[in-house]
């Protein structure tokens, strides 16, 4: 099998510009170098050292059920039978960032696209695009949770419909994905916990999102999220908090058309703003976190 293309953002003097690819590829597991496996292992160990007490229980337990470990990059063909049996989802290897419609089509069919390549050692602390570690370590575990798995498919189906409605509808859904699937927090009896893939795959943000006084933490509200802008190159200024995954799935039940119309008539909200009507959460207690030594 020849190694598939590694489609990455282009670095230019004007910053990084995204490059899209639509291909589905076999995971070229034999072609991973010792450096690739080492990058996976180092990121895996670093995150698992700080996530107990910060990531939600479902995330940590699912990652264990999938037998992910620091030893080596997991094999998609070993994860897929476990994932299919649990929720009917499967991983497909992709070359890099997918055009939105292609991405949504995969989700609508319970296929999660996982970039086949992993970041280089010099990118270990930050990469501007979804690589294998972000997708596999961050996104895949929660697909084992039946309710979250249903949400992800419902989201994909809704996004395909939004494509037909127009740009504003799509922007609203991209914000919904950003503030839930990528950067979502969940309230638990022990305090706020993380479920967003963009947070659990980042050491700094895993600590910042729960312990810093800087960001807002606001109760989940679909229209509020659809109106809220976001930045892609900094830690989030606002996190939205769900009560449980059922709340997330229930939010996708109604026909969004009237909601899009309502939101379109309202102003956007800056990422750092808090409204009178917001249900504000105060930062979680420190109990149950990994000790500072691990942080
Ligand atoms: N492509 N490979 C890949 N992974 C993503 O997470 C992804 C994508 N294309 C589009 C996309 N995400 C966004 O549209 C979503 O974040 C809404
Ligand atoms: Fe992602």
Does residue 121 lie within any of the structural domains?
A: yes
* CA distances in angstroms from 269 to 40, 159, 263, 274, listed in the order given: 37, 22, 11, 9
Tally of domains within the chain: 1
Best substitution site from 99, 130, 142 to test ligand 1's pocket, by max atoms within 8 Å of Cβ? 130
Does residue 2 lie within any of the structural domains?
A: no
Q: Show the low-confidence residues of the chain (pLDDT under 50).
A: 285-295
Which tens digits make up the pLDDT trace of 42-82? Answer: 999 999 999 999 999 999 999 999 999 999 999 999 999 99
Tokens of 224: 């509020």
* CA distances in angstroms from 234 to 116, 118, 208, listed in the order given: 25, 21, 11
Q: Could you tell me which of 267, 264, 274, 263 has the C-alpha nearest to residue 239?
A: 274
Does residue 4 lie within any of the structural domains?
A: no
Torsion sign (Cα): 34, 5, 144, 100: positive
pLDDT of residue 263: 96
Is residue 254 within 8 A of residue 184, CB to CB? The reply is no
Strand duo 10-12 + 15-17: pairing: antiparallel
Cα 112 to Cα 152: distance, rounded to the nearest angstrom: 9
CATH of the domain at 39: 1.10.800.10
pLDDT of residue 81: 98
Which residues sit opposite 219 in a β-bridge? 241
Is residue 228 within 8 A of residue 178, CB to CB? The reply is no
Q: Could you tell me which of 63, 29, 30 has the C-alpha nearest to residue 45?
A: 63
Does residue 5 lie within any of the structural domains?
A: no
End-to-end CA distance of the chain: 41
Q: Where are the alpha helices (DSSP H) in the chain?
A: 34-50, 57-65, 76-87, 100-108, 132, 146-165, 167-177, 197-200, 203-211, 222-226, 245-251, 257-264
Cα 271 to Cα 149: distance, rounded to the nearest angstrom: 27
Which tens digits make up the pLDDT trace of 241-262? Answer: 999 999 999 999 999 999 999 9
Q: Is the CB of 112 under 6 A from ligand 1?
A: no
- What is the span of the domain harbouring residue 220? 10-290
Does residue 99 lie within any of the structural domains?
A: yes
**What SS3 class is residue 207?**
helix
Does residue 235 lie within any of the structural domains?
A: yes
Cα 278 to Cα 225: distance, rounded to the nearest angstrom: 11
**Which ligand minimizes its atom distance to the CA of 21?**
1
CB atoms within 10 A of CB 268: 13
**What SS3 class is residue 111?**
strand
pLDDT of residue 16: 83
pLDDT of residue 99: 93
193 phi/psi in degrees, rounded to 5: -135, 165
Does residue 295 lie within any of the structural domains?
A: no
Does residue 246 lie within any of the structural domains?
A: yes
Alpha carbon of 97 to ligand 1 centroid (Å) = 6
Cα 161 to Cα 102: distance, rounded to the nearest angstrom: 13
Residue nearest to atom 4 of ligand 1 (CA): 97
Which residues sit opposite 241 in a β-bridge? 185, 219
Alpha carbon of 182 to ligand 2 centroid (Å) = 6
Q: Is the CB of 94 under 6 A from ligand 1?
A: yes
Torsion sign (Cα): 286, 289, 292, 295: negative
Q: Is the CB of 144 under 6 A from ligand 1?
A: no
- Name the helix (H) or strand (E) containing 196: none
Is residue 256 within 8 A of residue 264, CB to CB? The reply is no
């Amino acid at each position: 099998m020849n190694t598939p293309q590694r489609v990455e953002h282009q670095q230019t003097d004007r910053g990084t510009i995204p490059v899209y690819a639509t291909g589905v590829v076999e995971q070229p597991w034999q072609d991973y170098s010792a450096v690739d496996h080492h990058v996976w292992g180092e990121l895996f160990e670093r995150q698992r050292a700080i996530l107990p007490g910060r990531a939600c229980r479902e995330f940590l337990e699912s990652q264990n059920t999938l037998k992910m470990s620091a030893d080596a990059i997991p094999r998609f063909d070993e994860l897929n039978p476990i994932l299919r049996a649990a929720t009917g989802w499967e991983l497909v290897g992709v070359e890099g960032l997918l055009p939105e419609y292609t991405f949504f089509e995969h989700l609508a069919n319970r296929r999660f696209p996982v970039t086949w390549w992993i970041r280089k050692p010099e990118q270990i602390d930050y990469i501007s695009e979804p690589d294998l570690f972000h997708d596999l370590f961050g996104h895949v575990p929660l697909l084992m949770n039946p309710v979250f798995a249903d949400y992800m498919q419902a989201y994909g189906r809704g996004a395909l419909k939004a494509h037909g409605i127009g740009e504003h509808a799509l922007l609203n859904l991209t914000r919904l994905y950003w503030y839930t699937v990528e950067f979502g927090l969940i309230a638990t009896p022990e305090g706020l916990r993380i479920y967003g893939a963009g947070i659990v795959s980042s050491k700094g943000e895993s600590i910042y999102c729960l312990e810093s006084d800087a960001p807002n933490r606001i109760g989940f509200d679909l229209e509020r999220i659809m109106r809220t802008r976001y930045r892609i190159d900094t830690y989030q200024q606002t996190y939205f908090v769900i009560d449980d995954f059922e709340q997330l799935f229930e939010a996708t039940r109604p026909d969004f058309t009237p909601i899009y119309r309502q939101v379109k008539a309202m102003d956007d909200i800056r990422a750092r703003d808090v409204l009178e009507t917001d249900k504000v959460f105060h930062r979680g207690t420190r109990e149950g976190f990994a000790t500072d030594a691990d942080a």
